[in-house]
Amino acid sequence: MVRLLGRSGAGSNRRPSGARAEGAPDGAHGAHGRRTARTPGGATARRLAHAGRPDEGRFAGLRSALTGRSVAGQVFVLQVVIVLLLVVAAVVALYLQARHDSTQEARNRSVAVAEAFANAPGTREALAGPHPTAVLQPRAEAARKATDVDFIVVMNTDGIRYTHPKPDRIGKKFVGNIAPALAGQTVTEEINGTIGRLVQAVVPIKADDGKVVGLVSAGITTANVGGAANRQLPLVLLAAAVGLALATAGTALVSRRLLRQTHGLGPHEMTRMYEHHDAVLHAVREGVLIAGDEGRLLLANDEAHRLLDLPEDAEGRHVLDLGLPADTAELLASGRMATDEVHLVKDRLLAVNQRPTDVQGGPPGSVATLRDSTELRALSGRAEAARERLNMLYDAGVGIGTSLDVTRTAQELAELAVPRFADFATVDLFDAVLDGGQPEAVTPLRRTAVGGIRKDAPLYPVGEQIRFVDSSPHARSLRSGQAVLEPDLDLAPGWHAQDLERTAQVVGYGIHSLITVPLRAGTLVLGVVSFWRSEKPEPFDADELALAEELVARAAVSIDNARRYTREHSMAVTLQRSLLPRNLPEQSALDIAYRYLPAQAGVGGDWFDVLPLSGARVALVVGDVVGHGLHAAATMGRLRTAVHNFSALDLPPDELLGLLDELVGRIDQDETAEDGSAPVTGATCLYAIYDPVSRRCSIARAGHPPPALVRPDGTVEFPEVPAGLPLGLGGLPFETADLELAEGSRLVLYTDGLVENRERDIDEGLDLLRGALERSGESPEDTCRTVLETQLPNKPSDDVALIVARTRALAAGHVAEWQVPSDPAAVGEVRASVTGRLAEWGLDELTFATELILSELVTNAIRYGADPIRVRVLLDRTLICEVFDSSSTSPHLRYAAMTDEGGRGLFLVAQLAERWGTRYTPEGKVIWAEQPLP
């Protein structure tokens, strides 16, 4: 029991409820009895008064409850206020909800009506007709009345009304925001119109190709929608008033019942009655001390006796005489405020809180509470360590594997472990892992990452190739697949056997404990991770060994993912490089420089090619397959091969793109038939043919960025070349643009990765490209370098292919051309003319073969072709003979029988010429043959 100084041993004559104990005499003396006597309005007097006058007592109790002086009165007032606030809040919320619902209903109805009218049959056709108002005004009025909206307005894209409920407003400009609707979106807005607050919606009317051809607006006033809610508001207010009255009555009944239970006691009286209750003091797990203003101990509960080991007669004595430690006794005697001050009392750490008791008019002195924090601190320390380990594992899951690079991932592991877990950390991986392959246990490891609190540790440096001896902890980890703990490296002979000189330096440096953990990904062991300790004198323990295993296990997943990505990336890059041209073919029409930059992550489907054609012409092609990875690279290879094959047919650019479009469509169909989830191939392409004789360039493109042209004077332009749809979409033909290029012009072809990325659109990229071309030098190499330095200061996020071709013109003295009449006798004249020209060029050795080739080709043209017939001889890297005629019939090489009189002409041409073939022109065909120069 708690002993209070100055109290007698007699028990209280009050029960906890405040009623007088049964059998106690009315005139009993005591503290409580005197208080009752001093308080005429106390519980006893009120109870006696109520007993004499029952009715008056009931009304007096109700009045007391309503005064708010007692607990019951305060509860009554509080509950009435709360109910009133709830009713007001409910009414306000209902009103606001009704307004919100009205506005939302107006939005929904206006949007629905506008969209229905915009998509109604005949609306779009009426807009295209000669009299839209005559057709649409009756329909709009009928729809407005049927849908109960205030107006339906049809307008053109300039906002001029075609319909309106008031005819005098037809033909005037619509009031509202129509810009989003012109962009193909639906817009709603609230405005104050002539008919009140209203909500209007504007929706676009689109043609079949998606173009906006008109607009429809529908509007409705919020008053028409929300009228029902406003009419219900009086009923709601009446219900709220009735609810408030009922709640008030119920609260009065509850307060009257509470008044009877508390006997009219006020809060202060009830607090004083329980302030020193013995049960509370003995139930708490904290020690409680009450000291007087002179430092004498007035009260100490049982927990305080146990914690401070107080003597039995401690109450009444000065706290300095209780044998407590000096700092603890001084605190309790001073009475100063203290919060969670930790004091050592014998073998316990006590947290002491102390406050004065006279803050609000109480008796002088102080009250102190004591809490044993010894076990709590131990548990807190262990919990803090566990929390730190969980945080480190979480950070490992977030911070390790941010990139798909094996070396970077290993370095992230080393940086995470230092200094939170170890003073130094090293990661050793097999060389095959760094290259994306599968590790082999017989091969040495390479130090891939090192992390440490200092840079001068005598550990193997990064890049060092290491072969661990069988007795070392690293070899044992790799062999067993389990982590190995070496608590004292100075006493680890197996570790010293690795390198006696270096291990002695490590121990001398202060590193004394080691954990080695194998990097395992399934059944593969990728390497080993080592954690070294030098600062803390304690060695690694079993808990830290388990933490190291968990940390490395998480990192191993990221390293293995990086290894797999490296392998796939290497395979894709190898495939892509094998499909791209390694050397440009020899030709004299263009001076060419090119660049190809792979993407930062993954490989793409960008490609380019330079293809020599007949007649000294050259074809340039640039293409881009959508996506990255093996699928894109393989598709690129197929398209590049197809372009090679199609170019051999000497087709115009638009026809070649048409064939390529059909091929891409077939590829999509085949892959979709095999696997319904196969991605649809998307590709763009630009194909250009340059003729150095005429200096004309024919260009066609399928969804590809336009070419850039740098004139000899340095001006830059982007020629108007019809874009066309990307390959594989089909349905529309491609168009060809013909450009006449002055000698020395630079034609720049590129893929979209050069001018477009996530940070800028293609228009900004084209402006930057224009500026780079204006500043670049005249040579194609200088142009490539300047463009890449300007456009791509960092590694690109998408593949980039760039070709710069400076045009050359075939000298007029290297071109000879003759018109041939449709007479077999003209063949001799052609032979004589060609013989003379070959003599001028110093090609007498080719005279016989050339005469024979031209005789056969001209004879065929005269016999089977049509006028006009022309012969052209070009001196380039080869001697080119061309025969033009207006017939579209192409000769075919065949083997003539012994009895056949003809059929051997083209056979002789094929034997004498290095290459020969046929190409078609809008005027007919050209049969050509090339002979190598001697």
pLDDT value at 34 more than 90 = no
Residue 358 is predicted with a pLDDT of 81
381 pLDDT tier (thresholds 50, 70, 90): low
Average pLDDT estimate for 704-721: 94
Select the highest-mean-pLDDT range: 220-229, 232-241, 260-269.
232-241
Q: How confident is the model at residue 505 (pLDDT cuts 50, 70, 90)?
A: very high
Residue 803 CA to its chain's centroid (Å): 33
**Which residues lie across from 525 on neighbouring strands?**
520
Q: Which residues lie closer than 8 Å to 211 by C-beta, 6 or more apart?
A: none
Residue 470, both tokens: 């069988």
Which has the closest alpha carbon to 406: 178, 646, 570? 570
Higher pLDDT among residues 251 and 159, named by residue: 159
Q: Which residues contact 853 (CB under 8 A, 6 or more apart)?
A: 881, 908, 909, 912, 913, 929, 931
pLDDT in tens, 119-135: 888 888 888 888 888 88
- Residue 16 has what pLDDT? 38
Which range is most confident: 350-359, 389-398, 521-530? 521-530
For residues 898 and 804, the model is more confident at 804
C-beta of residue 730 within 8 angstroms of C-beta of residue 665: yes
For tokens 């709360």, the residue is 82
356: phi then psi, degrees, rounded to nearest 5: -70, 150
How many Å apart are CA 755 and CA 792, to the nearest integer?
9
Give the per-residue pLDDT at 49: 39
41: pLDDT confidence band, cut at 50, 70 and 90?
very low
Within 131-175, where are the H helices?
132-147
Confidence check: pLDDT of 3 > 70: no
For the ranges 89-93, 153-157, 417-421, 529-533, the one whose mean pLDDT is highest: 529-533
Give the model's pLDDT for residue 269. Answer: 65
Please work out, in degrees rounded to the nearest 5, the angle formed at the alpha carbon of residue 625 by the alpha carbons of 620 and 628: 135
What 3-state DSSP class applies to 803?
strand
Query: Per-residue pLDDT for 379 more than 80?
Result: no
- Region 11-36: mean pLDDT is 37
Highest mean pLDDT among 376-385, 449-458, 788-797: 449-458
Which has the closest alpha carbon to 667: 644, 641, 688? 641
Average pLDDT over residues 469-497: 91
How much is the average pLDDT of 145-156? 88
- Predicted confidence at residue 73, as pLDDT, reads 67
Stretch 246-259: mean pLDDT, rounded? Answer: 73
In the 8-state DSSP scheme, what is residue 524? E
**Who wins on pLDDT, 399 or 367?**
367
Of all helices (H) and strands (E), which one includes residue 886? Answer: none
According to the model, what pLDDT value does residue 261 have? 63
> Residue 220 pLDDT > 80, yes or no?
yes
Taking the C-alpha atoms of residue 205 and residue 201, their distance in angstroms, rounded to an integer, is 13
Q: For residue range 408-434, what is the model confidence (pLDDT) as tens digits?
A: 999 999 998 898 889 999 999 998 888
pLDDT recorded at residue 519: 92
Q: Provide the pLDDT confidence category of residue 901 given band limits of 50, 70 and 90.
A: very low
**pLDDT exceeds 60 at position 679:** no
Task: Output 267 or 665, whichever has higher pLDDT.
Answer: 665
| pLDDT category of residue 699 using cuts at 50, 70 and 90 | very high
Sequence-distant (≥ 6) Cβ neighbours of residue 442 within 8 angstroms: none
Using CA atoms, how far apart are residues 606 and 598, in angstroms rounded to an integer? 9
Q: Rounded to whole angstroms, how far apart are CA atoms 472 and 208?
A: 76
> Please, how many CA atoms are within 13 Å of residue 565, restricted to the half-sphere of its CB?
16
Q: Residue 135 phi/psi, 5° resolution? A: -85, -40
In whole angstroms, give the CA distance from residue 740 to residue 599. Answer: 35
Q: How far is CA 236 from CA 91, 97, 229, 795, in A?
A: 7, 13, 10, 68
Average pLDDT over residues 87-102: 76
Distances (CA, A) of 129 to 122, 135, 199: 10, 9, 30
The mean-pLDDT minimum among 23-27, 138-142, 218-222, 562-566 falls in 23-27
pLDDT per position as a tens digit, 268-297: 666 666 555 666 676 677 888 888 888 888
Q: Is the pLDDT of residue 19 over 50?
A: no
pLDDT computed for residue 721 by the predictor: 93
Which tokens go with 323?
């044998």
Q: Please tell me the distance from the alpha carbon of residue 313 to that of residue 301, in angstroms, as a whole number.
A: 13
Would you give the DSSP letter of residue 393?
Answer: H
> What does each C-alpha distance from 642 to 146, 148, 627 come to in angstroms?
61, 63, 20
Report the candidate in 800, 912, 773 with the shortest Cα–Cα distance to residue 854.
912
Give me the mean pLDDT over the 23-34 stretch.
37
Cβ(7)–Cβ(27) below 8 Å: no
The mean pLDDT of the chain is: 81
- Which of 173-182, 187-196, 490-499, 510-519 is the least confident region? 187-196
Q: Residues 585, 590, 593, 595: is their CA dihedral positive or negative?
A: negative
pLDDT band at 306 (very low <50, low <70, confident <90, very high): confident
Which range is least confidently modeled, 33-47, 423-437, 512-526, 872-886?
Answer: 33-47
353 vs 892, more confident: 353
Distances in Å between the Cα of 293 and the Cα atoms of 355, 363, 367, 553, 639 are 12, 9, 11, 64, 99
The per-residue pLDDT for 225 is 65
Q: What is the mean pLDDT of residues 167-178?
A: 86
27-31, 500-504, 582-586 — most confident range: 500-504
Per-residue model confidence (pLDDT) at position 328: 87
- What are the residues whose beta carbons fall under 8 Å from the beta carbon of 892, sequence distance 6 or more? 906
Res. 262 pLDDT band, cuts 50 70 90: low
Residue type, 603: V
Average pLDDT over residues 171-186: 86
Pairwise pLDDT comparison (31 vs 837), residue with the higher score: 837
* pLDDT the model gives residue 7: 38
pLDDT in tens, 754-772: 888 777 778 888 999 999 9
Candidates 346, 298, 348; CA nearest to 319 is 298
**Residue 444 confidence class, pLDDT cut points 50, 70, 90:** confident
What would the mean pLDDT of 461-479 be, rounded to a whole number?
A: 91
Burial of 142 (0-12, 13-18, 19+ CB in 10 A): exposed
Residue 449: φ, ψ to 5°: -150, 145
830-869: pLDDT as tens digits: 888 999 999 999 998 988 888 888 888 888 888 888 889 9
Percent of the chain with pLDDT strictly greater than 90: 27
Asked if pLDDT for residue 591 goes beyond 80, the answer is yes
Whether residue 667 is predicted with pLDDT greater than 90 in this model: the reply is no
Residue 396: alpha-carbon gap to chain centroid: 21
Q: Could you give the CA distance from residue 610 to residue 604 in angstroms, rounded to a whole number?
A: 20
Specify the pLDDT at position 18.
Answer: 38
The pLDDT value recorded for residue 760 is 75
